[in-house]
Amino acid sequence: MKFIILTGMSGAGKSTAIKIMEDIGFYCVDNLPIALLEKFVELSELQQNTELQKVAVGIDIRSGQALGELREILDRIKARGVTYEILYLDADDSVLVKRYKETRRNHPLAGGERVDRGIEEERRRLAFLKERADYIIDTSQLLTRELKVELEKIFVLNQDYKNLFITILSFGFKYGIPADSDLVFDVRFLPNPYYVDGLRPKTGNDREIQEYVLQFPEAHEFLHKLEDMLNFLIPNYIAEGKNQLVISVGCTGGKHRSVTLANELYRMLSGRKEYGLKIEHRDIGKDALRGK
């Protein structure tokens, strides 16, 4: 039997993950009372039908004071020789606060106080589960379909998972540096195709812009040095336990140079098994929307 405990922060996407796990063949039980967990594991082991060969149980802060008993229960389950894995979903505090405001839900631990106080207390109570987690997925930057891809990598394709998810983000400095950036690179040192006749309406996703930007030796030297630095940094981030890395590449408007070089960086980092990877172009359409 494959037994997964799905846990993590409220608002990090556990309900969505439960649905995805069902879709990929897991028998799922959400918010199972902790006092029943041992008995549920025992009954699941006794079943010989295929329905209970893959089981996922959602446990989180909704368990209340009983959550304090979970550590001992997990130790007893392990001592009986039952193999289980813990999947922990997390997100930045600012993202969690935003999600709560958008849904107008109250955090279960906030009471009459602000949401961030509830999040702080929840992190403290769940810390032991995060320490024991086999997989930690930071959903701060993930769409539902991207979370599905990550879960399929782990539980369908059985790929090694190193918990780090990298987002490569192009942006325009005139619209502000992305607040969630971990690394920011300024490529405004390259000639700007905005001032070349016929190129202004196009973007870094178009061949003409790519050819213009990449004709300059400085662009290739920048990419070479950046790749070398990331080859050093990423394994160290993984070793340190970092779950989310946002690499931001900026030019003036976020439409030409940054998009081109972000695409090149994505291509260079693709295909590696050590981390998940996606690309976003935050400001690529803003000039068009403003009629510029």
Q: Domains along the chain?
A: 2-161 (3.40.50.300), 165-289 (no CATH)
Q: How many CB atoms lie within 10 A of CB 74?
A: 21
Query: Residues 139-169: pLDDT tens digits?
Result: 988 889 989 988 988 888 776 666 788 999 9
What is the structure's pLDDT at 292?
40
Average the pLDDT over 30-59 and give the result.
Answer: 81
Query: Residues 223-242: pLDDT tens digits?
Result: 999 999 999 999 999 888 78
What is the structure's pLDDT at 23?
92
Q: Are strands 84-90 and 2-8 parallel, antiparallel or unpaired?
A: parallel
Q: What is the pTM of this model?
A: 0.69
